[in-house]
Amino acid sequence: MKSDRRRSPETKTVEPELAAKALAKAVCEGDIVNFRLVFSPFSPARRSSTERFEAEKYSYLLPDDDLEGSMVFKEALQLVQKTETWEHIQKELEEKRPAQMPSELLMVLGDHAVRAGKYTSAAQAYELLRIRPRIQEEYLRQADAALDEGNIRKAVRGYRIATGLAYNYAAFPEPLPNVPDYQTRALMLHGQYPERPEDCVALQEPQSFLSTALSYLLLDAEAAARLGARSVETRVMFLKELVAQIDVDWNEFTERFHDTLQLAKEFGKRLEQHTQGRWLTPRSLAEEIDQAFGEDPHKITAHLLGREIEGGEWWQYLKELAYKHPAGVLFISRQSVGEREILVPRYRADSPVPAALGLLTKSG
């Protein structure tokens, strides 16, 4: 018996129902990759291809029983099987050239992708339809309106979706949807060693801090600038909600931050000695013993992150912290200790932000 692979494409028949289901699944899950695959030259939906839906490796393209019974899938399937759309799909799958995908399905796919938080998928769908910038603007417009009404949660959601749909036209070699790259942005925030208090993000005055924080967390300076005219109170509430939506484990960080503040106080004297240039040259026997046997200040950084990186440099801790708790890197600064640097918790006492984000209370 011949294997599936060896069967001639001419003898292949494609079950139209399977192709329709695969498309409907991709649409209702907001999955642009699977959607495009169905139209690709090697697609199992094409008679000219040797690939088959029945093969185990393509089972992921088809819906399971739960999904098939859901209303959202049924609606998507109905849309796929709409006479005009389905005729177009079948025609395109027969042609020996890149298929022209049906825009009405892509539109619904984009909407489902947004609902599922798959912003890069949605961005690609809207980009293909050439409506991405206008859709972004509409989300921002409705988010601003929500902010006017005092609905912070809706406003934050709108801003997050709008910025999530952004495209990076400087990506190499081709433009790509923007992806959250807090690890890289955190390094840029702390790229210069802070020589003066104003060099340190955490110690900036509230207006300036809020601009930096919103720009960093929204991954978009232009969107953050739209919030610039709002009051400090509104922006603080916006930031609080934004942090909550981005980082569901934020309370874990606030607990650790609070503990680390205590730890940092204990090391404070030694850090102060260091900044006065006395760290490396102990003046008394007690200081010499303290330096030799005292606790390792690197523990502060490890405690802040929640784990120790063996031989880890400050930037390694910073990148991991930015990945786990993006907003956490806004409340730290680099501190030189001996020949190495550590990250220490920092905040501005007269700023309303640390308290709003629960950084000053043990319970978070």
Partner 1 sequence: MPAGGRRQWSCSTAGWKIEYHFALSGKIESMSDNVQGYVNYFEILDLDETAKPGEVRKNYRKKMKDLVFEISQAQITEERRAHYLLEMAKLNAAFCLLRDTASREAYWNERRYLIELEEMWREAAARSGNAVESDALRREFDSKVRSFLAKYVEELMLDAGRDKECVEASNWDEAHERHASRILRYYRHRLYQQILERLPYYEVTPPRIDWEERQRTIGRILAGSAS
Instruction: Give the span between the Cα atoms of 205 and 196, in whole angstroms.
Output: 13
Query: Cβ distance 269 to 281 under 8 Å?
Result: no
Among 142-150, 198-206, 295-303, 310-318, the segment contacting partner 1 (CB under 8 A): 142-150
Query: Cβ distance 224 to 218 under 8 Å?
Result: yes
| 71-80 vs 16-29: helix crossing angle, rounded to 10 | 120
DSSP state of 335: E
Query: Cβ distance 178 to 218 under 8 Å?
Result: no
Is 293 one of the binding residues for partner 1 (CB under 8 A)? no
Contact code string over 71-100 relative to partner 1, x by CB under 8 A: -----------------x--------xx-x
Record the tokens describing residue 129, joined without a space.
């339809």
Is 115 one of the binding residues for partner 1 (CB under 8 A)? yes
Instruction: Give the span between the Cα atoms of 82 and 75, in whole angstroms.
Output: 11
Pairing relationship of beta strands 332-337 and 340-345 according to DSSP bridges: antiparallel
Query: Cβ distance 16 to 90 under 8 Å?
Result: yes
- In this complex, which beta carbon is closest to partner 1, that of residue 109 or of residue 202? 109
- In this complex, which beta carbon is closest to partner 1, that of residue 139 or of residue 267? 139
Is 298 one of the binding residues for partner 1 (CB under 8 A)? no
Selected from 22, 24, 28, 101, the binder of partner 1 by CB under 8 A is: 101
Is 170 one of the binding residues for partner 1 (CB under 8 A)? yes
Nearest to 192 by CA among 333, 313, 363: 333
Among 47-55, 126-134, 248-256, 306-314, the segment contacting partner 1 (CB under 8 A): 126-134
Is 211 one of the binding residues for partner 1 (CB under 8 A)? no
Selected from 49, 50, 90, 103, the binder of partner 1 by CB under 8 A is: 103
* Interacting residues with partner 1 (CB under 8 A): 88, 97-98, 100-104, 106-107, 111, 114-115, 128-131, 134-135, 138-139, 142-143, 146, 151, 153-154, 157-158, 161, 169-170, 172, 175, 221
